A and B are shown apart, each in its own frame.
Chain A
Amino acid sequence: MIKLSNISKSFGKQTILQDVSVDISTNQITGLIGPSGTGKTTLIKCLMGMEKYDNGTIEIDNVTVPNRKLLNKIGYMAQSDSLYHDLTGLENIQFFAHMYGNKISKQTVQSILDLVQLEQDKKKLVQHYSGGMKRRLSLAIALINQPKYLILDEPTVGIDPVLKLSIWDQLHELKKDSTLLITTHIMDEAMKCDQLLLMKNKGIAASGTPQEILENFGVSDIDQVFLKLEEQEYENAAVN
């Protein structure tokens, strides 16, 4: 259970998050969407304990973030690839697996390699990987500790449509045991989420299942929701 209550965060004078409260439903895929620079990554980093939040509390399984032991339960994939380029794909996976302190079976490694279709290239140095391959490897590493919470910052950027579909199928498989939080800019991916959090203006502007959100705004796709939000803002400004 991830619970954010009244979170505020600013960098210097720039306020990024203001009074954000949200619960992230367990065993569901929650999509965090919103324009570039609204603070999705910032929110995720606060959740991981990598950024200090100024106000409020974040609790994961009733433990207040930041807490180092909590990280055992979390698989994290950063927005930018964070890989050792002078190690092979397999060595990267093995190294991070050891960081979780448990001996992972060859089987687990194999199934993860199969999932991201890197079996053939596992012995290649990462510096010779393509952009999509690096993304897939990062995803594999996030899955390595079979985490209860999986936090993925734009996981499918640079991955081809066919592989993307199979990854999404896998993500839906994973939600049996895990809670997933995913950011994305791709609207048909957003539609595949169970829950959506729309970020705008330093907070969550709308939330619910994709269907609920579309109905509430009376539109046919998510992009239009943001246009509507924009219009509302104009109207509010005009009224004031």
Chain B
Amino acid sequence: MRMLQLIKRICKQVLRDKRTLALLFLAPIFVITLLNYIFPDPDDEVTIAAVNVRDDVIDILEDNDMIVKQEKEIDIKSYLEEGNATGVLEEKDGEWTLTILNDNPMDEGPAIQGSSQAIMETNLNDLSDNIDDMINNMEDMSAGLEEMMENINEMMDQLPPEAAQNLDINTDLDVDTDVDTEIDSEIDMDEDPITVEYIYGDESYTFFEILNPILVSFFVFFFVFLIAGMSMLKERSSGTLEKLLSTPIKKSEIVFGYLFGYGIFAILQTAIIILYSVYILDMEIAGSITNMFIINILLSFVALGLGLLLSTFVSSEFQMIQFIPLVIIPQIFFSGMLNVDTMETWLQWIAPIMPLYYAGNTMIDVVLKGFTLGEIMAPLSILVLFIVVFVTLNIVGMRRYRKV
């Protein structure tokens, strides 16, 4: 009853505060949209300028969907600065040089990769041509040898026998005329030098596709944390928390009232972010959208609990902001963008205390790998554990304002 009134009050306050509403609902959508368009599409073509490059290399470059501009005598620096191409490929005395500005790894990565691949392929082609030549030469040579042997044998026959014995030429000299010419000179150079097999998904994910599920969780966490923390701080600094505790309300009623009051908005925000990512930005999901909801709603309650808790340690909005680089930012690194297993040992110990570590990685499991609810039970239970711990600490923390 009291809790319901508290929830009602919180809803009223949030709905009246247009700025908070915008922060909750528009800000994440804005940022996610921005990121969606900022990352280059891997299908975009890369332009390479070729200076003194053999035609067969150019053919391979073009086969690899690169636009090749053939140039002679250009000033490479200004040519690149003007944006005529992403890179300039030159050949001089058998040495290959690819020049790039080195100011945009996103575009330049594919240029470097494509060029080196093309050169590798031509080199392989050249090599197999050489091998063919060599084999031909060897066949010629062994034919010559055979001829010589026959000549010698003929000569021996014509010599008187004593002379032949004195010469003692081993006419059984076993020249292997069967030089193995079976070397497969037909290595199929049209195939990619390497075939990539994808266990999850069927083509290379763009960075955004991996980032997006993590970002969904990150925004849920970040904005809910901020808003819960800020409003609890306001309640404390305006004295209304103390006033509230002078009424017979239970401390747990306050904490749960806050949790559910802001929880409503957290759930709405989660829903909007997920639906927007999936239906408007066409985020592909291998698993079920329900699982995405479950992860993020649990996470939002963790954020609520943590925000409320940390707000008790600060005395101003500015101090609340100071928690962001301490509490929020480090969690990004552990949220699935980077592989925790390959980190330093002490970092691997830190990861499990971070709620976003569980949420982010589980989001990747669901969105990219299509994990089912059963498969993500373990991280979900840990998120529930976080909620229980934070709620308990919050209720205990209220003792500061009332001893019972």
Contacts and interface: CB of A to CB of B under 8 A. Distances in A.
Interface of A: 48-52, 66-69, 71-72, 74, 76, 78, 80-87, 91, 95-96, 98-101, 141, 145
B244 A78 contact: no
B246 A76 contact: yes
Contact of B1 (A50, A87, A101): A101
B12 interface: yes
A99 B250 contact: no
A50 B248 contact: no
A82 B239 contact: yes
A50 B246 contact: yes
Nearest to B401: A50
A96 B12 CA distance: 15
B239 A84 contact: no
Contacts of A85: 238
B17 A81 contact: no
Given A71-B246, A99-B2, A86 B16 contact: yes
Contacts of A91: 9, 12
Contacts of B238: 82-85
Contacts of B2: 98-99, 101
Interface of B: 1-2, 5, 9, 12-13, 16-17, 238-240, 242-250, 401-404
A38 B339 CA distance: 60
B239 A78 contact: yes
Contacts of B243: 76, 78, 82, 96, 141
Looking at chain B's contact residues, is the secondary structure mostly helix, strand, loop, or mixed? loop
Given A68-B250, A78-B243, A81-B239, A87 B403 contact: no
B403 A96 contact: no
6 contacts: A51-B403, A68-B248, A72-B248, A80-B239, A86-B17, A87-B13
Contacts of B402: 48-50, 66, 68
A138 B334 CA distance: 48
B242 A100 contact: no
B248 A100 contact: yes
A67 to B, nearest CB: 6
A95 B402 CA distance: 20
A86 B2 CA distance: 20
A101 B16 CA distance: 25
Contacts of B16: 86
A100 B17 contact: no
A50 B243 CA distance: 10
A52 B399 CA distance: 10
Nearest to A94: B5
Contacts of A83: 238, 240
B13 A96 contact: no
A176 B81 CA distance: 89
Contacts of B242: 50, 78, 82
Contacts of B9: 84, 87, 91, 95
A72 B5 CA distance: 17
Nearest to A70: B248
B404 A98 contact: no
A87 B402 CA distance: 25
B246 A48 contact: yes
A229 to B, nearest CB: 31
Contacts of A80: 239
Nearest to B9: A95
Nearest to A151: B246
